[in-house]
Chain A
Amino acid sequence: MNMIENRRIRLLRQTTIYLTLIAGSLVVFFPLVWTISTSLKTPEQVTVREVQLIPDPVAWANYVDIFDLVPVWRFLKNTLVIASASVFGGLVTCSLAGYAFARILFPGQRVLFFILLATMMLPYVVQLIPIFVIFDRLGWVGTFRPLTVPRLLGHNAFYIFLYRQFFRGLPSELFDAARIDGCTEVGLWWRIAMPNSKPVAAAVGIFAFQFAWTDFLSPLIYLGSKQEMWTIALGLNGLKGFEGMGSTLPMMMVMSIFMIVPMLVIFAFGQKYMVQGVTVSGLKG
């Protein structure tokens, strides 16, 4: 009797959990489904009062017409210029610094590492305006340099921290043997540390690309007035300016999908590394 009751309670509980999770998934996914649906509508189909998830007819042409309306390729090229600086800085400069903090002993290391962690805590709001003033004085506003130079120099404490944690975890034997054979520190970094750092390199590479792809405030401040230098993010925001309500709405959804799909692809392949990176950052706190 009791057993049956227990089983019934458990079944009820299981069902509730699954139903909640499925309902939640639908709510979470609905905006994306609606985006795809709207991207395939004509302007007339958009301004109706009824929900219509499958457009009739399907306006496939939107995905071609967008290239006439918006200089997508130029926005893409601009974004990729910034993203490559971001990824290069992450994989090379941050890795070098992470290696030094993990495996080379040098005077003042602890203090410098503390400073590194402190910069991670610094809210970006205190640097935003002075950095703009500095770049303005250098005449760099309206160029890619404010967005590329800091990244190339490895101005990202989080990536350095990830690399440092990873390099510390590598077995010392790996390095000792090469050191005995007369390998220099640069050689150790390049021949031992780097080839063994695929998981962390994947995480940092993905984060760096993702950051450049999605960043909005910095491109807005430094490139906002020069339309030919806009990134995809600025281009998408710029579509808002086309007035006339529904007329550009499907186009905005097409553009949103262009922005989203690369992120989904990266996520599909790099999910493991990304989640590791996120949880490492979370658990260290």
Chain B
Amino acid sequence: MASVQKREIAPSVSVTQPARKRQRWIGYLFILPWFVSMIWFDAIPFGMNLYLGMTDYSVGPIEQANWIGLENFERMLDDDLFRQSLANTIYFIVFSVPLTLILAFSIALLLNTRIRFLGLFRTVYYIPSIIPVVAASIIFLWMFNARAGAINQILYAIGIDPIRWLTNPDYTKITLVIISLWGFGAQMIVFLAALQGIPEQLYEAVAIDGGGLRARLRHIVIPLMTPTIFFNLLVGLIASFQVFTTAYIILGPNGGPLQSGLFYMMHTYNNAFRYFEMGYASAMSFVLFLIILAFTLLMIWTSNRWVYYGDE
């Protein structure tokens, strides 16, 4: 009661505004730790990365950085492993990103049909996303083992010859794509939340017009879901360009047989932390940054042609 009266007598402008003004400076104090960390771990490293990329910096006994200009970037053009790691990464993305998206979207659609046990199914499908990557990688490393692995045991049971998933260079990347699909639940959750936000009247409108499920999907669901598709696509793309841990654990730092599973980040990691070619590795990470930036801008640029942002 008292507080209500106070508010009525003293409009917020005259009471809170001076108080706010007086204490404005303290806002800086609140964000100071973050600000220090931003300068220290974002701003400086960002600038440093480009600088290091123009040097032959290498940690170790001789810690000096000699300016070599664009030499590191020229070196990439002659580096067979650079080309291969880029090609491997693109191969992985081309399969993993769309398949994950389609899987996540389809299951979210099925879960959005007023089924029973919705919570249970949602939990089951989401659980792989909370399994630590290292544990998941170790598990799949053995499930895909040619001799003792469960996958080949199942194939054997139905009369298919064992496949050398991880030791045949033709299969390594496919295997990693299959493994990546296991984590589709994270995207599914985002899709499901968006699907549940579609107003019921829109479905009714389609039904009145005599449209079935297909019309519903084409004219209501997919258009309204394009912002979510866009978001999941972008996040998936950015993450896949930097794919590292699973392949590193399953195939080892060299990417398995004939470097068939050597991804861009692994090649960068090897140069930086195994060969201590920090300069070259920095140049490589800068190139990856540019690639990711280009894809992001391209997607944003084309988004107004296919992403529906509503009228409001």
Binding site for B on A (CB under 8 A): 14, 17-18, 20-21, 24-25, 28-32, 34-35, 38, 46-51, 93-94, 96-97, 99-101, 104-107, 109, 112, 115-116, 119, 121-134, 136, 150, 152-155, 160, 172-173, 176-177, 179-180, 184-186, 189, 210, 213-214, 216-217, 221, 233, 236-237, 239-240, 245-246, 249, 252-253, 255-256, 259-260, 263-264, 266-267, 271, 274-275, 278-279, 282-283, 285
Contact = CB atoms under 8 A, between A and B. Distances in A.
A123 to B, nearest CB: 5
B49 A126 contact: yes
A249 B34 contact: no
A21 B119 CA distance: 12
B298 interface: no
B231 A125 contact: no
Contact of A127 (B49, B124, B156): B49
A153 B289 contact: no
Interface string B259-295: 0000001001100110000100110011011001000
A133 B59 CA distance: 8
A237 B249 contact: yes
A184 B239 CA distance: 42
Given A134-B44, A179-B19, 12 more contacts: A17-B113, A47-B148, A128-B285, A129-B49, A129-B52, A186-B26, A216-B245, A217-B245, A240-B249, A255-B138, A275-B126, A282-B232
Contacts of A240: 138, 141, 249
B45 A176 contact: no
Per CB-CB distance, the 9 closest pairs between chain A and chain B, nearest first, are: A106-B27, A100-B30, A130-B45, A282-B190, A285-B231, A153-B37, A155-B37, A214-B132, A130-B48
B241 A123 contact: yes
B135 interface: yes
A180 B143 CA distance: 64
A123 B49 contact: no
A221 B59 CA distance: 13
B289 A125 contact: yes
Interface in B1-22: 3, 6-7, 10, 12, 15-16, 19-21
Contacts of B193: 275, 279, 282-283
Contact of A278 (B49, B127, B186): B186
Contacts of B12: 172, 176
A31 B154 CA distance: 13
B132 to A, nearest CB: 4
A122 B148 CA distance: 41
B234 A285 contact: yes
B128 interface: yes
B130 to A, nearest CB: 5
B250 to A, nearest CB: 9
Contact of B242 (A35, A124, A256): A124
B257 to A, nearest CB: 17
A249 B268 CA distance: 30
A48 B153 CA distance: 8
A236 B135 contact: yes
B139 interface: yes
B30 A150 contact: no
Nearest to B150: A34
B153 A51 contact: yes
B71 interface: no
Nearest to A285: B231
B127 A267 contact: yes
Contacts of A116: 34, 38
Nearest to B290: A126
Contact of A20 (B110, B148, B230, B234): B110
Contacts of A214: 132-134
